[in-house]
């Protein structure tokens, strides 16, 4: 005959065994709800995908980013660095200021470049790459200024005639440059002075003025 202590022990054993079995079978899924928020659940459905790691996201978007970057003649490794700093490959990211998508486009920028589906990775990346390419042109290939403008706005860079004295912007420029170099991007650039003694930065060897080759990590000096 089973006494009460043995019976309680048996129930506890069965409960723990059942719990372990359930946990072993549980898989976590995520999906984006109508408000753009990530929802986690253990119940899969056709519209739900398994949670992706950063490595999985990189692999998923690698070819898309590389192809779009090459189309607009921007180094793909540089665009990857910007995306890591902006959203870490999250196509549904929304900032407190209202920037949206993988390359964190503000509503005005998205409209300017015809991005109607801002949470669509391809549309967002195309808009972001086109915008960054224009910034490189506006600032004569000065990578520091182009990155600062992508973060703080081109008018802000123009008004300060350089990188604005905002910690967020200066940290952003430094972070993207470090990510770019660590990913195997170009490690050096040219710092040069034109005939008006104005300083410029470029990956291409200058054809005029005085110049010297420097590490891109020092571009923010």
Q: In this structure, is residue 163 part of a structural domain?
A: yes
Shared domain for 58 and 132, answered yes or no, is: yes
Active site residue 181: no
Pair (100, 59) in one structural domain: yes
- The answer as to whether 191 is a domain residue is no
Query: What is the rounded distance in angstroms from the CA atom of residue 33 to the CA atom of residue 31?
Result: 6
pLDDT of 49: 46
76 and 29 fall within a common domain: no
Asked, for residue 97, whether it belongs to a domain, the answer is yes
Same domain, 151 and 115: yes
> Number of structural domains, the chain?
2
**Residue 25, in any domain of the structure:** yes
Residue ranges making up the domain that contains 22: 14-50
Which residue out of 50, 86, 181, 208 is catalytically annotated? 86
Q: Is residue 202 part of a domain?
A: no
Both 22 and 92 in a single domain? no
Could you read off the pLDDT tens digit of each residue along the chain, which spans 221 residues? 556 666 555 555 555 554 444 343 444 444 444 444 555 555 544 444 445 666 777 788 999 999 999 999 899 999 999 999 999 999 999 999 999 999 999 999 999 999 999 999 999 999 999 999 999 999 888 888 999 999 999 999 999 999 999 999 999 999 999 888 887 766 566 666 777 777 666 666 767 777 766 655 455 54
Look at the block and give the residue holding tokens 């910034």.
135
């Amino acid at each position: 005959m089973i006494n009460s202590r043995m019976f309680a022990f048996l129930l506890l054993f069965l409960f723990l065994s059942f719990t372990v079995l359930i946990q072993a079978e549980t898989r976590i899924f995520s999906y984006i709800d109508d408000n753009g928020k990530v929802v986690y659940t253990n119940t899969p459905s056709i519209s739900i995908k398994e949670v992706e790691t950063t490595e999985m996201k990189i692999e998923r978007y690698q070819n898309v980013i590389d192809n779009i970057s090459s189309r607009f003649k921007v180094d793909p490794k540089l665009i990857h660095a910007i995306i890591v700093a902006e959203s870490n490959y999250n196509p549904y990211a929304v900032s407190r200021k209202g920037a949206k998508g993988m390359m964190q486009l503000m509503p005005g920028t998205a409209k300017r470049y015809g991005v109607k589906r801002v949470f669509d990775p391809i549309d967002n990346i195309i808009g972001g790459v086109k915008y960054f390419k224009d910034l490189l042109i506006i600032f004569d290939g000065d990578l520091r200024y182009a990155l600062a403008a992508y973060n703080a706005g081109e008018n802000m860079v123009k008004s300060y005639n350089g990188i604005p004295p905002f910690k967020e912007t200066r940290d952003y420029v430094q972070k993207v440059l470090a990510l770019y170099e660590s990913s195997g991007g170009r490690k050096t650039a040219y710092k040069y002075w034109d005939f008006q003694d104005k300083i410029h930065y470029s990956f291409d060897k200058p054809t005029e003025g005085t110049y010297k080759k420097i590490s891109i990590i020092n571009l923010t000096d």
